[in-house]
């Protein structure tokens, strides 16, 4: 596996690969890799000739109050995981490389960016859309692999690609979970042992609401009440949102139609750690 840090070098390598007709897959990450990330890399390995994983803790997608400076980093371990998952290239640019002096461009997707994360992290998706656009330009992928773990992010990236006619297929891969159901996340390392055991309540709430829908309940507020009730059964939890929405456009009808796909979305703080999770009910 080759590690590349400069924008110029990655473009040179990628253009050469494209000239040879290679199919390129990219997996954008912020590093501190776990099996969720590795599953995306394995999916890319199975579908593409060249797999590029990117590791970049993107300052643009963190608000000043958030955890940018303390976001966990371990590049040696990341190299090992990426290599084992079949990556050919690890692209690890610096901030200066991604956002050179005078960088002023912002990509703003609108629409699906607005609710949920868009309310609690108003600048987040502009940062995501801007970095994803630049990473796509640098890596020229045929396919880009994202995790369902960040469901709204997947919808934002799909919309970005459609609106700007980027020749990239966005592939959404299933959420990888720990054995007790907690969605894998680099941020789980912030949790104390006691918080870690309470954190399983997110998936429990999603499963309870899924069950409730399967029993034929399609009134949004009653579904959201199930989510809330389960979440609030543990102490010291702050809910940012616990919502049911249309799985395509995130709209929130009072009543879901019989064939309408529903996504259950949860964001909550356990102690000072903010966790998100979701479940699709189709």
Instruction: Report 29-58 residues binding ligand AMP (CB under 6 A).
Output: 29-30, 36-37, 39-40
Compare residues 161 and 183 and give the one whose CB is closer to ligand AMP. 183
Place of tokens 């958030």: 66
Of 2-10, 78-86, 168-176, 233-241: span binding ligand AMP (CB under 6 A):
168-176
Instruction: Report 117-156 residues binding ligand AMP (CB under 6 A).
Output: 146-147, 149-150
Handedness of CA 224, 230, 234, 235 (dihedral sign): positive
- Joined tokens for residue 206: 């999603």
For ligand AMP, how many residues bind (rule: CB under 6 A)? 17
Taking CB under 6 A as the criterion, the residue among 54, 113, 139, 186 binding ligand AMP is 186
Compare residues 184 and 243 and give the one whose CB is closer to ligand AMP. 184
Compare residues 50 and 81 and give the one whose CB is closer to ligand AMP. 81
Give the β-pairing of 262-270 and 273-281. antiparallel
CA dist 270 to 118, 168, 241, 266, Å? 20, 37, 13, 12
Compare residues 48 and 183 and give the one whose CB is closer to ligand AMP. 183
The burial of 15, by beta-carbon neighbours within 10 Å (0-12 exposed, 13-18 middle, 19 or more buried), is given as exposed
| Nearest-CB residue for ligand AMP | 147
What is d(CA 272, CA 236) in angstroms, rounded to the nearest whole number?
Answer: 10
Compare residues 152 and 218 and give the one whose CB is closer to ligand AMP. 152
Asked about 37 being catalytic, the answer comes back as yes
Of 160-168, 171-179, 208-216, 250-258: span binding ligand AMP (CB under 6 A):
171-179
Determine if 263 is a binding residue for ligand AMP (CB under 6 A).
Answer: no
Determine if 183 is a binding residue for ligand AMP (CB under 6 A).
Answer: yes
- Catalytic residue selected from 34, 37, 124, 235: 37
Helix or strand run (H / E) with residue 220: helix 220-231
User: For residues 217-236, b (16+ Cβ closer than 10 Å) or e, as one string?
Assistant: ebebeebbebbbebbeebee
For the bound state, the minimum distance from the C-beta of residue 253 to ligand AMP, rounded and expressed in Å, comes to 26
Cβ–Cβ < 8 Å for 56, 32: no
Helix or strand run (H / E) with residue 172: strand 169-173
Q: What angle do CA 240, 192, 201 make, to 5 degrees?
A: 45
Taking CB under 6 A as the criterion, the residue among 92, 175, 210, 247 binding ligand AMP is 175
Cite the active site residues: 37
Name the residues that contact ligand AMP, by CB under 6 A. 29-30, 36-37, 39-40, 146-147, 149-150, 173, 175-176, 183-186
């Amino acid at each position: 596996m080759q590690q590349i840090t400069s924008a110029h070098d990655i473009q040179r390598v990628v253009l050469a690969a494209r000239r040879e007709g290679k199919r390129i897959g990219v997996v954008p990450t912020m590093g501190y890799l776990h099996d969720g990330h590795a599953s995306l890399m394995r999916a890319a390995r199975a579908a593409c000739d060249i797999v590029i994983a990117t590791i970049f803790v993107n300052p643009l997608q963190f608000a000043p109050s958030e955890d940018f400076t303390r976001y966990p980093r371990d590049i040696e371990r990341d190299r090992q995981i990426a290599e084992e998952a079949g990556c050919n290239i690890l692209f690890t640019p610096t901030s200066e490389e991604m956002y050179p002096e005078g960088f002023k461009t912002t990509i703003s997707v609108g629409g699906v960016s607005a609710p949920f994360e868009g309310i609690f992290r108003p600048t987040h998706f502009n940062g995501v859309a801007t970095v994803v656009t630049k990473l796509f330009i640098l890596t020229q992928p045929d396919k880009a692999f994202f995790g369902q773990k960040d469901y709204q992010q997947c919808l934002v990236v799909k919309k970005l690609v459609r609106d700007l006619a980027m020749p990239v297929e966005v592939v959404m891969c299933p959420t990888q979970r720990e054995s007790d159901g907690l969605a894998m996340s680099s941020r789980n390392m912030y949790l104390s042992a006691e918080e870690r055991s309470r954190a399983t309540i997110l998936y429990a709430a999603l499963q309870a609401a899924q069950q409730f829908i399967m029993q034929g309940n399609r009134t949004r507020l009653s579904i959201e009440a199930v989510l809330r009730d389960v979440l609030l059964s543990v102490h010291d939890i702050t809910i940012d949102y616990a919502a049911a929405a249309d799985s395509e456009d995130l709209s929130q009808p009072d009543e879901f139609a019989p064939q309408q796909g529903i996504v259950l979305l949860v964001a909550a703080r356990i102690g000072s750690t903010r966790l998100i999770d979701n479940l699709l009910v189709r």
